[in-house]
Amino acid sequence: MSVYESELVSELVVEEREFAADGVLALTLRHPLGEELPAWEPGAHVDVVLGPDLERQYSLCGDPADRTAWRIAVLREPDGRGGSAYVHEQLGRGDKLRVRGPRNHFALRPARRYRFIAGGIGITPILPMLAAAEAAGAEWSLLYGGRTRRSMAFTEELSGYGDRVTIAPQDETGLLDLASVLDGLPEGTLVHCCGPGPLLDAVEARCPAGALHVERFAPKVQEVGQNTEFEVELARSGRTLSVPADMSVLDAVRGAGVEVLFSCTEGTCGTCETDVLEGDPDHRDSVLSDEEREAGETMLICVSRCRGKRLVLDL
């Protein structure tokens, strides 16, 4: 979808609020008038607007077939920037919450066999994927790690899947045994993984190319070249802007008064994805797959830049 088109912003009501683990609060959100909520598929997330400059992305972790309610789970992050503290300390039952989306950059790709790997709160997008894989009759397993058993959300829900799920708290079993899941991966198996950066990096290093699909909550550490100045032509607005070395494309575009959607500004949420009509993007996001980067058809304008002197964007 173009960033020109405004996404649906819903004002929802917090109907239930319960702890899914130590420090993890699960919220059930409904429309205040009981209206249907937008459809979504496993892997989707929403932007929750917590204040004028405070937005956070949370994966939908309920049942996509239930169009009357959305469930999100929020990990309390003592060193965070205030989003999780607000949800944990101030948001109560019956309070309203502005939510934008849903959007999905982590869709479950079709396969007959899946290996799911989740670390900590990374279980949230994986949870509905398991139900979808199960419903599709796929062969699957989940390796789920966390600091301690008590800190790991939704373990009770997962117990219904029996031995397809391996719960591996670090204080009991140490680091996740990725070799047991990834070595000798049968042909046609897809791996979907969500969790902290070091886990995703370790999985990436072990997984055959093309088999892995990840979602990152924090920007991936990557080597980038030096920033240079370049031009951006906005095809729809007929404007050409100069993007200085110390400015993002997003800031340049907004500075020119062109309205675009954005949220995280660090290349993780996918909100600012923009179609590229000409030019060679220098991808610096943590959202696009290698294939998508190679294709160069879209870019995340909050962080990505240009390899040459000029880009033409569908803005």
Nearest approach, Cβ of residue 160 and ligand FES (Å): 34
Residue 314 to residues 172, 234, 253, Cα–Cα distance (Å)? 51, 6, 12
Q: Which two tokens stand for residue 37?
A: 């909520």
How far apart CA 141 and CA 118 sit, in angstroms, is 11
Can you tell me the distance from the alpha carbon of 304 to that of 7, in angstroms, rounded to the nearest whole number?
22
Each residue 114-143 as x (binds ligand FES by CB under 6 A) or -, in order, gives ------------------------------
CB of 254 to ligand FES, least distance (A): 11
Other CB atoms within 10 Å distance of the CB of residue 275:
16
Residue whose entry in the numeric block shows the structure tokens 């997008």: 125
CA 285 to chain centre: 12
Check: CB of residue 232 under 8 Å from CB of residue 240: yes
Residue closer to ligand FES by CB (options 47, 108) is 47
Provide the minimum distance between the beta carbon of 211 and ligand FES in the complex, in angstroms, as a whole number. Answer: 24
Q: How many residues contact ligand FES, by CB under 6 A? A: 14
Per-residue x/- mask for ligand FES, residues 251 to 280, rule CB under 6 A?
Answer: -----------xxxx-xxxxxx--------
Asked if residue 253 lies in contact with residue 236, where contact means CB atoms within 8 angstroms, the answer is no
The first and second tokens of residue 72, run together, are 């999100």
Site string for ligand FES, 186-225 (x = CB under 6 A): ----------------------------------------
Smallest distance, ligand FES to C-beta of residue 78, A: 24
3-state secondary structure of 34: coil
Q: Which is nearer to ligand FES, 6 or 173 (CB)?
A: 6
Q: Is 302 among the residues that bind ligand FES (CB under 6 A)?
A: yes
Q: Which of 126, 182, 300, 315 binds ligand FES (CB under 6 A)?
A: 300
| Residue 191 and residue 205 in contact, taking contact as beta carbons nearer than 8 Å | no
Give least dist CB 43 to ligand FES, A.
16
- Residue 34, judged by CB atoms within 10 A of its CB (0-12, 13-18, 19+), counts as exposed
275 HSE (CA, 13 A, CB side): 10
The smaller minimum CB distance to ligand FES, of residues 263 and 298, is found at 263
User: β-strands 230-234, 310-313: how paired?
Assistant: parallel
Residues 56-115, interacting with ligand FES (CB under 6 A)? none
Give the whole-angstrom CA distance, residue 273 versus residue 6: 13
Task: Tell me how far, at minimum, the Cβ of 302 lies from ligand FES, in Å.
Answer: 3
Our CB check for ligand FES shows the closer of 106 and 114 to be 106
Output 23 or 270, the one with its CB closest to ligand FES: 270
Closest to ligand FES by CB, 115 or 284: 284
Cβ closest to ligand FES, residue 169 vs residue 296: 296
| Interface with ligand FES (CB under 6 A) | 262-265, 267-272, 285, 287, 300, 302
